[in-house]
Chain A
Amino acid sequence: MADVRRVISILVENESSVLSRVSGLFAGRGYNIETLTVAPIPDTNRSRITIVTKGSKRVLEQITKQLHKLIPVYKVVEHEEMVEKEMVLVKFPIDEKLADIQALCQAYNGGIANVGADMIIGMVTDEPCRIKHFVEATKRYNPIEIVRGGVVAIER
C-alpha cells in the first residue's frame, strides 16, 4: 500500500505527560512524525496537538485508533479537508539584496520580521508546499539560518 500524507489533529487534556504519551506512541509503534505542533486551546484545560504523518491506509487507521486509546485524548481528527498553514523564519546577511528579499517574502504573503546591524529576518506563513518553494527560492540569497514551524490545521 502506498504511503499517504495526513494531518492529524488531536485534542488532549492539558497535562504534563500528555505530549510524551503521544510522541512515545509514535516512536514505540514505528509511526512517522514529519511535523508536530502543540498549543493550549484558549479558555479550556485542553491542548491541540497537530501532527503531520505519512503511512499506508492501514497504518493511518492504526494511528488514529491507538491515539484514541490514550486516556487523556478527547478527540482525534484525521481529515483530508484541512486548511493547513506553516510558518518559516529565514535569516539573511545584511549585504544581500534587501529589496529582492522583501519582494520574495511578499510574494509568499510574508514580510520582513526584523532587521539588525548585520542581518535581516524574513517571515512567511503559507501552505506547506508553498513554504517548500519559498525556502528553495531563498537559497540564492545565502540564508544563514532557516527555522520552520510545524503545520497547524483546521477543518474546513
Chain B
Amino acid sequence: MKMSGARMVCEALIAEGVKTVFGYPGGAIMNVYDEIYKQDGFEHILNRHEQASVHAADGYARATGDVGVAMVTSGPGFTNAVTGLATAYMDSIPMVVISGQVPLSLIGTDGFQEIDAVGISRPCTKHNYLVRDIKDLPRILKEAFHIARSGRPGPVLVDIPKDITAQIGEFEYPKSVNIPSYKPTTKGNKRQIDKAVEAILKSKKPLLYVGGGVVLSNASDLVRKLANMGGIPAVETLMARGVMGADNPLLQGMLGMHGNYSSNMAMSETDLIISLGARFDDRVTGKLSEFAKYADIIHVDIDPANISKLVDVDYPIVGDVSIVLEKMIDGIEGKINPDRYSDWRDVLDKYDNLHPLSYEDSDEVIKPQWVIERVGELIGEDAVITSDVGQHQMWTAQHYPFDRPRQWINSGGLGTMGFGFPAAIGAKKGCPDKIVINFTGDGSILMNMQELVTASEYKIPVINIILNNNFLGMVRQWQSFFYDSRFAETDLSYQPDYKAVAEACGGIGYTVTTKEEFDKALKDAIEKNRVAFINVAVNRFENVLPMVPAGGALYNMILADKTKEK
C-alpha cells in the first residue's frame, strides 16, 4: 500500500500494538504529528518537556514490560531527550524513540534545529538509525522494536529526516526480522548449567544475588521457586526490589552501599553467589578486592559483556534468566530440600537481629522513613511506586514493602533526578487500576515539575510525596560524612510554595507537618483522584543508613549516626 513516511510511522506503531505515545511536536516531526492527528489507533500524551516524554515512555515500559514509545523533534527536541535515553540505557529498558531530523539535503549544513542525533545518542542507545531512504523505513521501524525488546533490552532511536516523512512509498510492515549480525544468546549452555547445579548442591552457604534482569525477564516466580526449593537465602539489588516479596523469610533485603547489615554480611560470607541478572555494580560490590572473598560465582546474564567485567566468575552462563532458571530448577528438583541450609540461614538471622534495618522514630518531627512505611501500611501492594534520586530513593528501596516485580520504578544506573514524576505518569498510563505514588525530594521534584500540567490535562492522578528536608539531601549527607559539614550549594531552604504550585497547574496540594495531617492528605489525594503534591516537612538532618562509604569493603558499614547535626 502506498502512503507517506509519516503515515508509515503511525501504521508501524499500531502494528506493534502501541497504545500510548509520549511526545512533543516541532518543525522536523510535524509530518508525523499531522498523521497522528488523523488516526485513532493510539493515544498521544503531550508532556511539557521532551525529557519528561522519554521518562514517561520509560516508566510505562517498566510498569508494563511493553516497549515504551516517545516522539520528539530535531535539534533541541532531541537533545532534551538524551537524558531520558541514557536513563533507559543504563537500566536496560525497552524503548523506541522517534526523532525528527532536518531534510536529507540539509544534513551537514548546520541547518535550523539540526544536530547529529545518531552521533550524540550512540553511547546511550542500544542501537540507532538515521533513515536515508523511505524504502528502508518499514524495516527499520520493525528492527527498532525487535532490538529494543530482545536480548538485553534497551532504547533504540530512529531519526527520520523531514523529507522522508513527506515522501510517498510502498508500505508493507515486515512480519519478521532478519539481522544476521544480531542473534542474542538466550538458552544458556547446558553443560555450564549442569556444572552450576553441581556447585549449588555442593555449596554450604549459597546466596541468590537477584538483579534487575530478573524483572526484565519476568523470572520472579522462578527465582522464588528456586529459593523455596532449597531454602536458599536471597539478596536483592536496588533494581530487583519486589522480586522475592517483602514478607519472604528467605529475603535478607537490599545489598550494597545502603543495603542492610545481614544482606551485606551474607554477600561477604557466602561460599557461592548465584547471580541472576545482576551486574556487580560498584554501588553493590564496594571494594572489589574485599568483595565476596570466600565465594565461587555463578553468573547468569543475557549480556556476555557483563560476565567477568569486574569480578572473575567461575560458572558463566550467557542466557535469558527465565530459560536458564527453568533448566536449573529441573536439575535441582528432588536433590535438595528446604532444610539443607538452615545453619546458614540461622547465621544470617543472627546478623539481622544484631543490626536490623531500623530508624529512630520521633513524635516531634516526621521521619522520612515513617512516611514510606506508612504508605506501605495504607496502600501496600495496590500501589506502583516510582522515585526520583537521592535519600528518598534509598529510604523507599529500604522501607517500602514491595511485593511484586514492576511495583518499584526508579533510575538506578544513571541516577537521574527528575525521573520520578514523568515515570509515574507513564506507569499510571500503563497500570490505570493502580495507585501510583512518586516518592521525591525537594531537589528532584523541581527538575520536571512542569508535568503537573500534563497530569492535570490528561487527568493522570499520580501522587507526589515530597520528603522535604530543605536540602539536596544525599549530597548534604556526604558533606556531613566526608566534607566536614561544609554544605556547598546543598541548602535548598529557598523554596516555592509547593501547594500553591500544584494548584496553579490544576492539581491539588497539601502541606504536611504532622503524622495525622499526612494520613489525611494521602486519603484525600486518593479520593480526589487528581494529580497531587503532598509536601511533607521531614527531619532535616536524617541520614540514610547503613552506609558503605564509596570504595570501602561491603562488611564495613556505618551503622549508627555519629554526625553532629540533628
The answer to whether A28 and B119 touch (CB under 8 A), given A65-B304, A69-B303, A69-B305, is no
Q: Is residue B32 within 8 Å, beta carbon to beta carbon, of the partner chain?
A: no
Docked CA distance A24–B309 (Å): 19
**Of the candidates B119, B179, B180, B309, which one forms a contact with A62 in the assembled complex, judged by CB atoms under 8 Å apart?**
B309
Minimum CB–CB distance from B299 to chain A (whole Å) comes to 13
Residues of A within 8 Å of B130, CB to CB, are 17
* CB-defined contacts of A68 to chain B, threshold 8 Å: 304-305
Q: Establish whether residues B305 and A20, one from each chain, have CB atoms under 8 Å apart when the complex forms.
A: no
Report the minimal beta-carbon distance from B391 to chain A, rounded to whole angstroms.
30
What band does the interface of chain A fall in when counting residues whose beta carbon is under 8 Å from B? 10 to 19
Checking B119, B181, B303 against A74 with a beta-carbon cut-off of 8 angstroms, the contacting residue is B181
Q: Which residues of B contact A99 (CB under 8 A)?
A: none
A73 at interface by CB-CB < 8 Å: yes
Select which of A24, A62, A72 is within 8 A of B181 by beta carbon. Answer: A72
A86-B308 Cα distance, complex, nearest whole Å: 33
The interface residues of chain A, by DSSP majority, are classed as helix
Closest to A75 in B: B181
Given contacts A58-B308, A73-B181, contact A28 B303 (CB under 8 A): no
Contact residues of B between 121 and 173, Cβ < 8 Å to A: 122-123, 126-127, 130, 132, 147
Q: Quote the shortest CB–CB distance from B154 to chain A (angstroms).
A: 10
Q: Any chain B CB within 8 A of the CB of A78?
A: no
Our count of residue pairs bridging A and B at CB distance below 8 angstroms stands at 35
- Among A16, A17, A24, find the residue whose CB has the most chain B CB atoms closer than 10 A: A17
How many angstroms between the C-alpha atoms of A17 and B130 in the bound complex?
9
Q: Is the beta-carbon distance between A28 and B180 smaller than 8 angstroms?
A: no
Chain B's closest residue to A72 (CB) is B181
**A56-75, CB < 8 A from B:** 58, 61-62, 65-66, 68-69, 71-74
- From the candidates A16, A20, A61, A74, name the one contacting B122 in the complex (CB within 8 A): A20
**Which chain B residue shows the least CB distance to A13?**
B181
| B182 at interface by CB-CB < 8 Å | yes
Q: Given A20-B122, A65-B305, A69-B305, A74 and B127 touching (CB < 8 A)?
A: no
Asked whether B123 lies within 8 Å of A66 as measured between CB atoms, the reply is no
* A21 in contact (CB, < 8 A): yes
Known: A17-B118, A20-B119, A21-B122. A71 touches B309 (CB 8 A): no
Question: Are A61's CB and B127's CB within 8 A?
Answer: no
A58 surroundings in chain B (CB, below 8 A): 308-309
- How many angstroms between the C-alpha atoms of A41 and B187 in the bound complex? 32
- The residue from A16, A20, A61, A71 contacting B308, defined by CB atoms under 8 A apart: A61
Complex A-B: 28 CB contacts under 8 Å: A16-B132, A17-B118, A17-B119, A17-B122, A17-B130, A20-B119, A20-B122, A21-B122, A24-B122, A24-B123, A58-B308, A58-B309, A61-B308, A62-B305, A62-B309, A65-B304, A65-B305, A66-B305, A68-B304, A69-B303, A69-B305, A71-B126, A71-B127, A71-B147, A71-B181, A71-B182, A72-B181, A74-B181
Q: 19 other contacts beyond A71-B182, A74-B180, with CB at 8 A cut-off?
A: A12-B181, A13-B181, A17-B118, A17-B119, A17-B122, A20-B119, A24-B123, A28-B123, A58-B308, A61-B308, A62-B305, A62-B309, A66-B305, A68-B304, A68-B305, A69-B303, A71-B126, A71-B181, A74-B181
